[in-house]
Every structure is written in C-alpha cells, then in structure tokens.
C-alpha cells in the first residue's frame, strides 16, 4: 500500500487545485429565518437569502451550477419558547429548478405541517458548478 503525503496541492498553472469530478459540497452553510432572515458567516458559495414569507426562503448561489439537477439537503430546528421543544423540521422543495438558487420551507413535522421561521437551518448542495 502506498501513502501520499503533501502540504500543498496546486494546479499545473500554480494556483489552487479545483474540485472537478469529486462529490464534494459546492454550497453549504447555516441561516436563521427568525427575526431578520440572514445567512450566517462562514457559509460557502452563498450570495443572499430571500425571505419569501413565513418559513419560506430562497438561497442564491455565488457561483451557479452547470444544470438544474443538483442534490440538496436541509436540516433545522424551531423553538417556540417553551422548554425542550426544539424539533428538527425542514421540509424542502424547489418551486422551479434553477442552477442559481434553491428554495426551501421550514415546517413543523406534524399533521398540520405549518410553516415556521426556523431558528437554525443548515444546508448543503451537491453538483457540478458551471
């Protein structure tokens, strides 16, 4: 078995090596829909968050994907102020497929599926960038 050890990997042009065919997240981060909706610092490849209504948001990408078939995953929680009621609860969907954004809705996972402004939502999006 061989071992490869390196401190730096560069492209043949001397710059940073790019991820091309690897299956790494191209968008990731966390946000809050409560109060003033905002994407938190440290998020990757996100340019803005649009608040479309209660629990309904759209994340715009800094760099678009090459097509509209990217995969995405959301997790989140909602706290209505009562003790011990933080519940993971993100229902997500895209109303229209887009290479430049993804739309999601935070819902309480019960029979009513009410939309709520999630306190903490994390997300990742996979696919090939344009």
Has residue 81 got a pLDDT over 70? no
Q: What is the pLDDT of residues 110-130, one digit of tens each?
A: 667 777 777 788 889 998 888
**Is the pLDDT at 21 greater than 60, yes or no?**
no
- pTM exceeds 0.75: no
Q: Is the pLDDT of residue 97 over 80?
A: no
In DSSP notation, 81-101 reads: SSTT--EE-EEE--SS--SSE
Query: What is the per-residue pLDDT for 35?
Result: 80
First-to-final CA distance of the chain: 36
Whole-angstrom distance, CA of residue 120 vs CA of residue 78? 7
Domains of the chain, residue spans = 25-126
Our measurement of the distance from residue 100's CA atom to the centroid of its chain's CA atoms, rounded to an integer in Å, reads: 12
**From CA 117, how far away is CA 19, in angstroms rounded?**
34
Interval 72-77 mean pLDDT:
80
Cα–Cα distances (Å) from 123 to 6, 65, 68, 82, in that order, read 30, 16, 17, 25
Average pLDDT (91-102) is 73
pLDDT tens, residue by residue, 30-71 = 998 888 888 888 899 999 999 998 888 899 999 999 999 888
């Amino acid at each position: 078995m061989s071992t490869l050890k390196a401190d730096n990997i560069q492209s043949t042009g001397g710059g940073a090596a790019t991820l091309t065919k690897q299956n790494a997240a191209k968008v990731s981060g966390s946000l809050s829909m409560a109060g003033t909706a905002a994407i938190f610092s440290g998020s990757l490849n996100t340019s803005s968050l649009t608040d479309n209504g209660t629990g309904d948001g759209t994340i715009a990408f800094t760099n678009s994907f090459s097509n509209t078939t990217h995969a995405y995953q959301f997790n989140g929680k909602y706290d209505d102020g009562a003790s011990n009621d933080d519940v993971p609860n993100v229902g997500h969907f895209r109303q229209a497929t887009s290479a430049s954004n993804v739309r999601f809705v935070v819902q309480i996972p019960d029979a009513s599926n009410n939309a709520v402004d999630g306190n903490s939502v994390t997300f990742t999006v996979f696919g090939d960038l344009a």
